[in-house]
Structure 1
């Protein structure tokens, strides 16, 4: 059974730029359930804007706990 997590993510533009420079590769988010999840910033790349990263997201993991999908929900 796939697991889903809902969370808000806010990352300043400067931090997003560090991803492109190769300085940071991961981010830790706290799901609405209180669980902390480490994700590769590469999954957020389609949602970066000139302001950075802002929004609500739904993370789906496979039955084995591997990354399945990430979608912005607002």
Structure 2
């Protein structure tokens, strides 16, 4: 398992305006400088009235396939 840590601060209106399409993705930069592209739908459970704000941990398998995304 691989773990990646990153911080997001995307206002609600920005997220909805830019990432509402089915094929939309979010590009994050981890604490180690690694760029990872994730489907925007993976972040919707964490979207609040203020947007996406906080520390996140992405867990992938040994083939870098998505396993879990969680807010810390």
Under a length normalisation based on structure 1, what TM-score does the superposition of the two structures give?
0.86
Residues 38-69 of structure 1, C-alpha deviation per residue, up to 9 Å, x if partnerless?
01111111110001110000000111111110
Q: Which residue of 1 aligns with 2:33?
A: 34
**How many residues end up aligned between the 2 structures?**
71
Q: Which residue of 2 aligns with 1:10?
A: 9
**Pairwise CA RMSD of aligned residues?**
1.5
Instruction: Point out 4+ residue stretches in structure 1 off by more than 3 angstroms.
Output: none
Written as runs of structure 1 = structure 2, the 5 A alignment for 1:1-74 is 2-18=1-17, 19-20=19-20, 22=21, 25-73=24-72
Q: Is the 8 A contact 2:23 2:39 kept in 1?
A: no
Any stretches of 5+ residues in structure 2 without a counterpart? none
Any stretches of 5+ residues in structure 1 without a counterpart? none
